[in-house]
Amino acid sequence: MPPAIVLFTQDLRVHDHPALTAAVGDRDAVLPLFVVDPAITGRAARNRCAYLSEALTDLRAALRGRGGDLLVREGDTVDRVCALARETGADTVFLTAGVGRFAARREHRLREAVPAVHALPGLTVVPPGAVTPTGGDHYKVFTPYSRAWADRERRSVLPAPEKVRLPAVDPGALPGDLAERGVGALAPDRLAGGERAARARLRAWLEGGLSRYDRTRDDLPGAATSHLSADLRFGCLSPLETVEAAEASGAGQGAEEFVRQLAWRDFHHQVAAAFPGLAVRDYRPRDRVWHGDPEALDAWRRGRTGVPVVDAGMRQLLREGFMHNRARMITAAFLTRTLHVHWKEGADHFHAHLVDGDIADNYGNWQWVAGTGNDTRPNRPFNPLRQARRFDPEGAYVRRYVPELAGLPGRRALTPWREERLPDGYPPPIADPGR
Ligand SMILES: Cc1cc2nc3c(=O)[nH]c(=O)nc-3n(C[C@H](O)[C@H](O)[C@H](O)COP(=O)(O)OP(=O)(O)OC[C@H]3O[C@@H](n4cnc5c(N)ncnc54)[C@H](O)[C@@H]3O)c2cc1C
């Protein structure tokens, strides 16, 4: 039987990988392949390129440890798949089904070029489109979705294949430091990428913070969330395995709340699958009036708005390629509701820096905050100062990321404009942050 190609994309793992397991079970030899496609790396955040480099090194080691290898090619994905198929006689491609425009086009072109393509689940816990409301192609509101999501029967979590047999073929070199490509700046304090690091983080999380998560997830200085988003974004962790591990952990309400967040991730993916324009068009047009304000936008991007909790979030993004969820909501609401700058400006900036930056989650959440997305209360008030008092009551988060305010004790760091003199180098607020 000819070998089959396993095309890796956003699923850079060997555990619970339905496409890899199916190919290994079906064929004597398989060709695990990753294509460094300039159409993706040219536009991706430098931080994501860096994570990708590490994940590929790790995946190659995991496959070599099983007798196989990761073949690496560079160029247009479909062209490279076809070239490898010609070179080796492979007649079938196995891959994990994706969502979004790019994935749809890739799959369509592959189907035209290769005799057989098998797109298998693995990107989400419940595949997009697997649960639908009566009379609709996707859920527009989270609560009914989450009920259907919870009731849906799941496939079994798969072990990593023990052996991967590879025909004689040039593996190709890993692409070197991909972080030299891409857009945005490289964050000095990023987390290390790859399946091994991801699994270690998951283990530590299950034994550590998970049981308190329901009480601590909004605590800004505590940073008491899983930090697994980039691992899930690159598929170094299977979302299904993550959910099942949390459910089996005995962590009670902490685990319940954590699983709920993974349902949110699936929710946004099924929205993106049904509404591929999510990154460019209002999901629900609401006649919002936006202001083009380049100076305010620049201050927001650099963390120099003069509103400490906003600046702390924006600087965390630049320093870590990550931002606490509560800070993402505060900074996004400040840009779209206080400054009335278009959500796309903010989402694009996030996308240029987040290691976990993902079209479905980033643009879906931005539209949610801006009131053009799936929020059932699009005009809910969101006051950054009140948020700061509630979730950073002693100003510890603000002082951690805004060193100019380090000398202001306690919650005085949240309102420096009320001091007799603004701390050196810190600007006055560019807009009224509320009371
Ligand atoms: C404006 C804005 C932009 C965002 N952009 C992204 C993005 O590009 N990529 C991304 O993964 N998340 C995004 N989120 C969601 C959320 O902020 C991050 O997933 C979370 O902060 C990551 O930290 P964590 O892994 O410690 O999360 P935890 O609190 O530990 O949550 C566990 C996992 O659940 C998922 N999750 C949690 N909240 C959400 C949510 N609201 N929507 C979708 N999935 C969620 C993530 O995969 C996360 O890793 C965004 C939220 C906002 C408000």
CATH code, domain carrying 225: 1.25.40.80
pLDDT of 32 reads 98
- pLDDT tens-digit map of 37-49: 999 888 899 999 9
- pLDDT tens-digit map of 386-397: 999 999 999 999
pLDDT higher than 80, residue 268: yes
Beta-carbon contacts of 110 under 8 Å, excluding residues fewer than 6 positions away, are: 7, 78, 81, 93, 95, 117
Using the atom order of ligand 1, give the atom closest to the CA of residue 267: 43
Read off the pLDDT of each residue in 428-432 and give the average, rounded to a whole number. Answer: 96
Q: Are residues 132 and 266 in the same domain?
A: yes
Q: Are residues 8 and 111 in the same domain?
A: yes
pLDDT higher than 90, residue 100: no
CATH code, domain carrying 43: 3.40.50.620
pLDDT of 49 reads 95
Q: Are residues 134 and 103 in the same domain?
A: no
| Ligand 1 center–CA 283 separation, angstroms | 19
CB 223 within 8 A of CB 325: no
Nearest to 225 by CA among 237, 240, 239, 210: 210
Locus of tokens 């196989």: 68
Nearest to 55 by CA among 42, 75, 36: 36
pLDDT higher than 90, residue 375: no
Residue 163 lies in a domain: no
pLDDT of 38 reads 92
Residues linked to residue 117 through DSSP beta bridges, in sequence order: 93
pLDDT higher than 90, residue 103: yes
In whole angstroms, how far apart are CA 89 and each of 31, 35, 278, 409, 430?
11, 18, 39, 69, 63
pLDDT higher than 80, residue 141: yes
- pLDDT tens-digit map of 314-332: 999 999 999 999 999 999 9
The residue whose CA is least distant from atom 31 of ligand 1 is 261
CA angle 72, 74, 78 (to 5 degrees): 95
Q: Are residues 32 and 140 in the same domain?
A: no
**Residue among 259, 271, 365, 391 to mutate when testing ligand 1 (max atoms within 8 A of CB):** 365
CATH code, domain carrying 337: 1.10.579.10
Residue 286 lies in a domain: no
Question: What's the pTM value of the predicted model, to 2 decimals?
Answer: 0.98
Question: How many Å apart are CA 231 and CA 237, to the nearest integer?
Answer: 6
Using the atom order of ligand 1, give the atom closest to the CA of residue 332: 1
301: pLDDT confidence band, cut at 50, 70 and 90?
Answer: very high
Using the atom order of ligand 1, give the atom closest to the CA of residue 233: 11
293: pLDDT confidence band, cut at 50, 70 and 90?
Answer: very high
Read off the pLDDT of each residue in 372-394 and give the average, rounded to a whole number. Answer: 91
Residue 177 lies in a domain: no
Residue 148 lies in a domain: yes
- pLDDT tens-digit map of 157-193: 999 999 999 999 999 999 877 878 888 899 999 999 9
- Domain of 67, in residue numbers: 4-123
Residue 412 lies in a domain: yes
Question: How many Å apart are CA 168 and CA 32, to the nearest integer?
Answer: 13
CB 20 within 8 A of CB 235: no
Q: Are residues 62 and 135 in the same domain?
A: no
Average pLDDT of the residues of the chain: 96
- pLDDT tens-digit map of 4-36: 999 999 999 999 999 999 999 999 999 999 999
Q: Are residues 128 and 9 in the same domain?
A: no
Q: Are residues 231 and 351 in the same domain?
A: no
Nearest to 317 by CA among 342, 272, 348: 348
- Measure the CA dihedral 50/242/257/312, to 10°: -10
Q: Are residues 62 and 23 in the same domain?
A: yes
Q: Are residues 231 and 372 in the same domain?
A: no
Q: Are residues 255 and 344 in the same domain?
A: no
| Ligand 1 center–CA 89 separation, angstroms | 42
- Measure the CA dihedral 339/345/348/352, to 10°: -70
Q: Residues lining ligand 1, CB < 6 A?
A: 217, 225-229, 232-233, 258, 261-262, 264-265, 268, 325, 328-329, 332, 350, 354, 356-358, 361-362, 365-366, 369
Residue 305, both tokens: 């708005």
CB 171 within 8 A of CB 70: yes
| Ligand 1 center–CA 163 separation, angstroms | 34
Greater pLDDT, 177 or 71: 71
3-state secondary structure of 119: strand
Residues linked to residue 36 through DSSP beta bridges, in sequence order: 74
**Residue among 205, 259, 271, 325 to mutate when testing ligand 1 (max atoms within 8 A of CB):** 325
Residue 350, both tokens: 């996030």
- pLDDT tens-digit map of 199-234: 999 999 999 999 999 999 999 999 999 999 999 999
| Ligand 1 center–CA 179 separation, angstroms | 23
Q: Are residues 369 and 245 in the same domain?
A: no
Q: Are residues 345 and 379 in the same domain?
A: yes
| Ligand 1 center–CA 322 separation, angstroms | 10
